[in-house]
C-alpha cells in the first residue's frame, strides 16, 4: 500500500467496538460530503479534483514552469494561507532542505521564494537582497484578489520587475493565479495581460494545493505534478468507501472524533524530517480552519522531532493530558548518512556503521512508546517514499479525512468566518475607506 495507517497503539485509549460504533455517524458524514447535502457543499469540488481537472490549464502550467526555468533564476511566489501553504509544503517535501539556499549552479530549477505571507518590511527587504541582480519572475496567488499581505508584496515586486525589465517585458514575467471572474487581481491581470491561472469556484484555499495555486510553484521548483495528481487520484479511488474497515482516512477521522470526545483536544502532527515541517504547517491550516468554530474543534499543532523533544518534549510526556499525536513518517530515506567509524571514544561506538535513518527510526519508535506510556494516544501515518506520488496520496488522505471529521463534529468544515475578524480591525485601524466608525471605536480602545 502507498500509505499505511497504524492505530495499534490506541488500544489503551479506545475500547474495542468503539470504532464500529462510529460507523452510522460516519455513513451520515459521508453522505453529507459526497451527496452535497452538508453545510458548505459548494466548496467540495476538491473531492473529485484529482480525476476531474482542467487538462488544458495543466499543460499551460507545465509550459509556464518551463518558461520560468528558462528565463529566471528566482520565482517569487506571492500568497498567504491557502494560497501558499500547500505549495510551500510540497516544494520542501520534494527537495533538499537547503535547496533554496544552494547556488544557482547547484540547482536544477529556479529558486522558489515565498512572499506576501506576512507584513514584515524586513522580510521583504531580505528577499530583495537575496534576488540581487538575478533574473526573476513572480507568481501572485490570491483567490479573492484582495488580501492585504500578498497585495502589498505584489506591488513591490511588480514595481521591481517594471524597473528592471520595462513595463511590457515585466508583464511576461508575472503569472496571476486567481478567481476566474472576480476580484482586483483578476481585473488587473486582464488589463495588463498577465498569464492567468484559475482557483476553481468550488475549491476553498486550504483545499487548493492540487489546483494551479499549488501546481505552478511545485512544477517551477522541478516537482513532478503528473505524479502528484496520480497519487491523489489513487487515494480518491482508495478512500471512496464509507466502510470504516476499508477506509483508513475515515478511520483517522473517526478515531480523532473518539479521542476528542474523551478530552484529547489538541493534536500534534509529528515528523522526524525537516523536509516535512512545512507539511505540518499546511495540515495546521487544513485542520484548524476547517474545524475550529462554534466553540469546538481539535487544536492542531505540530511536533518537529527530534528537535522539539528537547524543548516541549517534557510537556508531551508529563504535562496536561489533553494531547494526542499523529506521526507522519516516510519509510525510505531520500538520502542517508552512515555514522563514521572512529577510534576515539565519544560514547558512540555502539552506533558506528549504522545509518542515521536507522537511528531516526528507533528514536521515533522509542518516543512513540514513551508518549503512549505517558498517556498520549498515538496514530501513525506512513508512506513508503518521499516523492510526488506519495505526497499527492497523503494530501488527499488528510483532505478527505477533514471533510468527514468536520461533519462528525457538527460544523461546516468548508467556511472560515473567523478569519475576517482581524482583517476588519486591521482595516479599521489603517483607516480604509468604509471603516470610519470602526476606526474611531478601535482607536479609542487602544
Ligand atoms: O483558506 C482560506 O480561505 C485562507 O487561508 C485564504 O486562503 C487566505 O486568506 C488567502 O486568501 P486569498 O487567496 O483570497 O488571497
The mean predicted confidence, pLDDT, of the chain is 97
Nearest CA to ligand 1 atom 8: 81
pLDDT digits (tens, 9 = 90+) for 154-174: 999 999 999 999 999 999 999
What number is the average pLDDT over the span 174-178?
98
- The reported pLDDT for the residue numbered 420 is 87
142 lines ligand 1 (CB under 6 A): yes
- Cα dist from 274 to 85, 96, 303, 318, 386, whole Å: 16, 9, 11, 25, 12
CB of 214 within 6 A of ligand 1: the answer is no
In the three-class reduction of DSSP (H, G, I as helix; E, B as strand; rest coil), residue 5 is classed as strand
With a CB cutoff of 8 Å and minimum separation 6, the contacts of 197 are 57, 60, 61, 64, 175, 176, 177, 178, 212, 216
ipTM attached to this prediction: 0.98
User: If pLDDT is split at 50, 70 and 90, which confidence band does 108 have?
Assistant: confident
Looking at 149, 196, 289, 325, which residue is catalytic?
289
Looking at the predicted structure, is the pLDDT value of residue 345 above 90?
no
For the question of residue 423 being annotated catalytic, the response is yes
Atom of ligand 1 nearest to the CA of 84: 7
Answer whether 88's CB lies under 8 Å from 275's CB: no
State pLDDT tens for residues 358-414.
Answer: 999 999 999 999 999 999 999 999 999 999 999 999 999 999 999 999 999 999 999
Strand spans (E) along 195-234? 195-198
Cell of 178: 486567481
Active site residue 186: no
Kindly report, residue by residue over 289-313, the tens digit of the pLDDT: 999 999 999 999 999 999 999 999 9
Q: Is 173 in the pocket of ligand 1 (CB under 6 A)?
A: no
Distance CA 438, CA 149 (A): 21
pLDDT at residue 184, as a whole number: 94
Sheet holding 3-6, edge to edge: 3-6, 378-383, 323-330, 266-271, 299-304
pLDDT value, residue 330: 98
Does this model's pTM top 0.95? My answer is: yes
How large a percentage of the chain has pLDDT more than 70? 100
> Does residue 272 have a cis bond before it (omega within 30 degrees)?
no
**How crowded is the C-beta side of 15, counted as CA atoms within 13 Å?**
5
Q: For the segment 258-281, what is each residue's pLDDT rounded down to a tens digit? A: 999 999 999 999 999 999 999 999
Catalytic residue among 66, 246, 296, 423: 423
- DSSP code for 111: E
Asked if residue 287 has its Cβ within 6 Å of ligand 1, the reply is no
From 43, 46, 81, give the residue whose CB has the most ligand 1 atoms within 8 Å, as the site to mutate. 81
CA 403, CA 140: separation in Å to the nearest integer? 28
Residue 183 Cβ < 6 Å to ligand 1 = no
d(CA 7, CA 324): 12
The 10s digit of each residue's pLDDT in 83-100 is 999 999 999 999 999 988
pLDDT score of 344: 86
Q: Which of 82, 177, 181, when mutated, tests ligand 1's pocket best, judged by the most ligand atoms within 8 Å of its CB?
A: 82
Give me the pLDDT at residue 351, please.
Answer: 94
Q: Classify the phi-psi angles of 410: left when phi > 0, otherwise alpha if psi is within -120 to 50, otherwise beta.
A: left
Is the confidence at residue 101, as pLDDT, over 90? no
Cα 228 from Cα 237, distance rounded (Å): 15
- Which atom of ligand 1 sits closest to the CA of residue 149? 15
Q: Name the percent of the chain lying above pLDDT 90.
A: 96
- Tell me the pLDDT tens digit for each residue of 198-236: 999 999 999 999 999 999 999 999 999 999 999 999 999
Which residue's CA is minimally distant from atom 1 of ligand 1?
A: 205
Q: What are the tens digits of pLDDT across the range 49-66?
A: 999 999 999 999 999 999
Is the pLDDT assigned to residue 331 strictly greater than 90? Answer: yes
* Residue 30, SS3 per DSSP: helix
For residues 145 and 178, the answer to whether their CB atoms sit within 8 Å is yes
The residue among 1 and 249 whose pLDDT is bigger is 249
Q: What is the pLDDT of residue 168?
A: 98
Q: Could you tell me if the CB of 144 is within 6 A of ligand 1?
A: yes
Q: What is the distance in A from the centroid of ligand 1 to the CA of 430? A: 20
* Per-residue pLDDT at 322: 98
Longest dimension (CA), the chain: 75
Residue whose Cα lies nearest atom 9 of ligand 1: it is 81
**Alpha-carbon distance 49 to 196, whole Å?**
19
**Can you say whether the dihedral through the CA atoms of 203, 209, 210, 214 is positive or negative?**
positive
Distance, CA of 269 to CA of 331 (rounded, Å): 17
DSSP for 34-90, written as a single string: HTT-STTGGG-GGGTTTTS--HHHHHHHHHHHHHHHHH-SEEEEE--GGGTHHHHHH
Amino acid at each position: 500500500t502507498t500509505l499505511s495507517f497504524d492505530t495499534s497503539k490506541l488500544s489503551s485509549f479506545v475500547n474495542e467496538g468503539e470504532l464500529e460504533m462510529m460507523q452510522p455517524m460516519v455513513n451520515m458524514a459521508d453522505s453529507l460530503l459526497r451527496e452535497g447535502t452538508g453545510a458548505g457543499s459548494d466548496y467540495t469540488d476538491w473531492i473529485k479534483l484529482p480525476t476531474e481537472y482542467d487538462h488544458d490549464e495543466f499543460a499551460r502550467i507545465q509550459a509556464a514552469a518551463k518558461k520560468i526555468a528558462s528565463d529566471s533564476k528566482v520565482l517569487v511566489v506571492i500568497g498567504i494561507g491557502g494560497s501558499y501553504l500547500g505549495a510551500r509544503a510540497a516544494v520542501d517535501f520534494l527537495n533538499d532542505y537547503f535547496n533554496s539556499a544552494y547556488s544557482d549552479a547547484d540547482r536544477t530549477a529556479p529558486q522558489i521564494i515565498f512572499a506576501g505571507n506576512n507584513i514584515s518590511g524586513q522580510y521583504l527587504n531580505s528577499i530583495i537582497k537575496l534576488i540581487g541582480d538575478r533574473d526573476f519572475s513572480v507568481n501572485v496567488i490570491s483567490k479573492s484578489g484582495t488580501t492585504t499581505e500578498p497585495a502589498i508584496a505584489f506591488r513591490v515586486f511588480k514595481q521591481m520587475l517594471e524597473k528592471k525589465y520595462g513595463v511590457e517585458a515585466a508583464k511576461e514575467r508575472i503569472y496571476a493565479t486567481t478567481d476566474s471572474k472576480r476580484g482586483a487581481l483578476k481585473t488587473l491581470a486582464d488589463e495588463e495581460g498577465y498569464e492567468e491561472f484559475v482557483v476553481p469556484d468550488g475549491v476553498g484555499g486550504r483545499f487548493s494545493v492540487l489546483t494551479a495555486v499549488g501546481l505552478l510553484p511545485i512544477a517551477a521548483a522541478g516537482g513532478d505534478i503528473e505524479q502528484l495528481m496520480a497519487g491523489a487520484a489513487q487515494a480518491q479511488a482508495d478512500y471512496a468507501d464509507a466502510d470504516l474497515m476499508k477506509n483508513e482516512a475515515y478511520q483517522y477521522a473517526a478515531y480523532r472524533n473518539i479521542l476528542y470526545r474523551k478530552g484529547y483536544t489538541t493534536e500534534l502532527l509529528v515528523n522526524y524530517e525537516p523536509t516535512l515541517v512545512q507539511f505540518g504547517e499546511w495540515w495546521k491550516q487544513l485542520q484548524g480552519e476547517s474545524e475550529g468554530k462554534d466553540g469546538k474543534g481539535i487544536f492542531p499543532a505540530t511536533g518537529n522531532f527530534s528537535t522539539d523533544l528537547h524543548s516541549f518534549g517534557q510537556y508531551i510526556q508529563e504535562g496536561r493530558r489533553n494531547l494526542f499525536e499523529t506521526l507522519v513518517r516516510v519509510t525510505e530515506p531520500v538520502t542517508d548518512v552512515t555514522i563514521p567509524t572512529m577510534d576515539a571514544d565519544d560514547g558512540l561506538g555502539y552506533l558506528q556503521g549504522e545509518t542515521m535513518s536507522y537511528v531516526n527510526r528507533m528514536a521515533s519508535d522509542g518516543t512513540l512508546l514513551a508518549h503512549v506510556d505517558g498517556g498520549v494516544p498515538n496514530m501513525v501515518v506512513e508512506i513508503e517514499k518521499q516523492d510526488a506520488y506519495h505526497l499527492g496520496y497523503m494530501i488527499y488522505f488528510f483532505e478527505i479525512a477533514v471533510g468527514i471529521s468536520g461533519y462528525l463534529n457538527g460544523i461546516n468544515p468548508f467556511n472560515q468566518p473567523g478569519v475576517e475578524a482581524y482583517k476588519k480591525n486591521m482595516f479599521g485601524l489603517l483607516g480604509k475607506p468604509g471603516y470610519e466608525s470602526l476606526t474611531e471605536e478601535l482607536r479609542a480602545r487602544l
